[in-house]
Amino acid sequence: MTNSASRQASGASPRAIALVGPQGSGKSALFDALLAAAGSPPQRRPGDARARAMGTAVRIGHCSFMGDPWALLDCPGSVEFAQEAAAALAVADLALVVCEPSPARAAALAPVFHAIERVGLPAMVFVNKVDTLGDQRMRDTLAALQAHSRRPLVLRQVPIRNNGEVAGYVDLVSERAYRWRRGEPSELIRMPEDVAAREAEARAALAEALADHDDALLEKVVEDTVPTPEDLYRPLHADIAAGALDPVLLGAAEKQHGVLRLWKALRHDVPGPDAAAARLGLAPEGEAVAQVFRTIHAGHGGKLSCVRIWRGTLKDGASVNGARIGGITCWPGGEPAKANEAAQGEIVALGRLDALGTGATLSPSASVAALPFPDAASPVFALAIATEDRKDDVRLTAALARLTEEDPSLSVVHDAEAGQILLAGQGDIHLGQAVARLAEAHGLRVTTARPRIACKETIRHAARHHARHRRQTGGHGQFADVTLEVAPRSRGEGFAFEDRIVGGAVPRKFIPAVGEAAEEATHKGPLGNPVVDITVTLHDGAFHSVDSSDMAFATATRMAMQEALAKADPVVLEPVDHVTILVPQDGTAAAQRLLSSRRGQILGYAEKEDWPGWDEVQALVPEAELHDLIIELRSLTMGLGTYTRRFDHLAEARAR
């Protein structure tokens, strides 16, 4: 059943869930398990198969559970494809955070929790793979997760163990115990005696957390009255919708354990798209509004703009933002199908909106204020790319434009000084996938190389040189005589030209040509780099009333500059960046050692604001040392570390 048909049957608008979490947590297994439990076949997103196979793109699944329509967004777990997850969160009604039970892996959830909290999105946590919990206590897992979340995390279930293995759970609200049965619904059982004390303790903790925002429940807690299930259901539903706390459920997706109970919790507690629209600042009444969260170039199918409909209904052929919709695509059963319209809550693809990019807010009048959308992540890794066949250069430009439109976390820089095209992104895997996409989707073979560093040079001492240009031909000859001095300036002061001519040794009309030629001579110094931070002074010269000209004085100036710069003790300057590394606190020392090994000057470190358990390390690092910094940093921090950079200054190059 399509979302449209399901909506008509139930009267409810489709709700959207974004499954997020670190790589290896089992999001895709849970995605498939949720679809299977809802009676839907495995589904996929439109786009290239390679991205899906590598887990680098969002998968979209449509289904109906107990008559309600749903869209599930399975987000990549790799930090290199976090932009995909951020875009999905922007159009979701709730984030389902999937994690492993190991406390050692809890730090990997910090970026996920932070992204959710930043946009104020309601969330639930599903602790997957609890069949691997062993004798480890669930409360230890919860404590480890809580260390990286600013919202209270409250257990909704406690595990039941059998011979050391988790075999079921007790629901803390209803106080019912269930035993899991693979391939069948869970079996309602009597609560085991050895679980009762832990259940009472966890239920009391849940009640206390909910009482923080509910006076009626607070009164019962204070009076030590046992709350009824309804006493807990009501504030739990309200707190989830408000983003005041995140409930924690558990299961094992690959065995279908806990999946039906998760579905029921989602059905009960996920707010509808009208609530999400209100959170985004949209009034309930007005013209149709949608937002593009994904752009796909589907070969002969043209450009597809994946959108979430926040308000109203969009019809095929309607005009949005001055463009006409050229087809509406949905994916019932995982295969594309055409639709005539899409209503509030639905996730569909609109065709032929060529001028509208990812993040765009769409409406018939184009007068709706832009809805919030995540900024593109700053690049941390770059490669110089070139076509194997120069005839493909024009095609490469067009293909790169499409790539960056599909993935805003990719960027392209044309470095004229180095004569290179730089493709920048979130890591070597990210760029490897982009290069593969160029070959598979666009038929372009490219070579990659390490980017050249844009070094400069300057001089350490002043030097003076006299140069005379004389050439006699059949007609007028050429004559110019100059004496120039070059001297260093403070770093960052740039180029300056001074005229010290007295007595008309060089006529005023020729002096501008000397200044322009002197500056032109700095484009390539004796060491092969542009020369910066120098003063050129014209001290003396001579001219001929007939043979002197701007051209002659320019030539003499270039001769003098070449010799003077070579005598002035030239030195190479390399760019130095200010680097801010973000790492879990147990990786701070390793990050500092890494920076020091790369000629970095540590400026200090401090706890990252609003990131519990994480530090920021500040340092000055030569740009030449930053090319593969992210690769080593991630290897030292379980894939969690990242950094930002900005140019700070030029400094004399020194060996490692």
Q: How far apart are CA 141 and CA 244, in angstroms?
A: 20
3-state secondary structure 9-25: HHCCCCEEEEEECCCCC
**In this structure, which amino acid lies at residue 219?**
E
What's residue 141's pLDDT?
96
Which CATH number applies to 573-652? 3.30.70.240
Q: How far apart are CA 395 and CA 415, in angstroms?
A: 18
What's residue 655's pLDDT?
65
Q: State the DSSP string of 279-301.
A: HTT--SSSS-EEEEEEEEE-GGG
What residues contact 588, with CB distance under 8 A and at least 6 apart? 605, 615, 617
**In this structure, which amino acid lies at residue 37?**
A
3-state secondary structure of 643: strand
Domain 381-447 matches domain 573-652 at the CATH topology level: yes
3-state secondary structure of 578: strand
Its sign, for the CA torsion 308, 312, 317, 320, is negative
Task: Kindly report the CATH class assigned to 282-362.
Answer: mainly beta
Q: How far apart are CA 212 and CA 208, in angstroms?
A: 7
Please state the separation of Cα 287 from the chain's center in Å: 31
Domain topology for 461-568: Ribosomal Protein S5; domain 2 (3.30.230)
What's residue 56's pLDDT?
83
Contact 619, 591 (CB under 8 A): no
What's residue 43's pLDDT?
53
CATH of 381-447, one of 3.40.50.720, 1.10.3720.10, 3.40.228.10, 3.30.70.870: 3.30.70.870
What's residue 73's pLDDT?
96
What's residue 119's pLDDT?
94
3-state secondary structure of 87: helix
What's residue 52's pLDDT?
46
Tell me which DSSP letter residue 379 carries.
Answer: P
Phi (first) and psi of residue 307, to 5 degrees: -130, 155
Instruction: State which residues of the chain have pLDDT below 70.
Output: 1-11, 42-54, 332-334, 474-475, 655-656
Contact 573, 455 (CB under 8 A): yes
What residues contact 212, with CB distance under 8 A and at least 6 apart? 152, 218, 244
| Domain residue extents for the chain | 282-362, 381-447, 461-568, 573-652
Q: How far apart are CA 188 and CA 170, in angstroms?
A: 10
Contact 532, 457 (CB under 8 A): yes
What number of residues does the chain have? 656
Q: What are the helix (H) ranges across 463-577?
A: 511-520, 550-567
What's residue 333's pLDDT?
59
Number of Cβ within 10 Å of residue 254's Cβ equals 15
Bridge-based pairing state of the strands 153-155 and 246-250: parallel
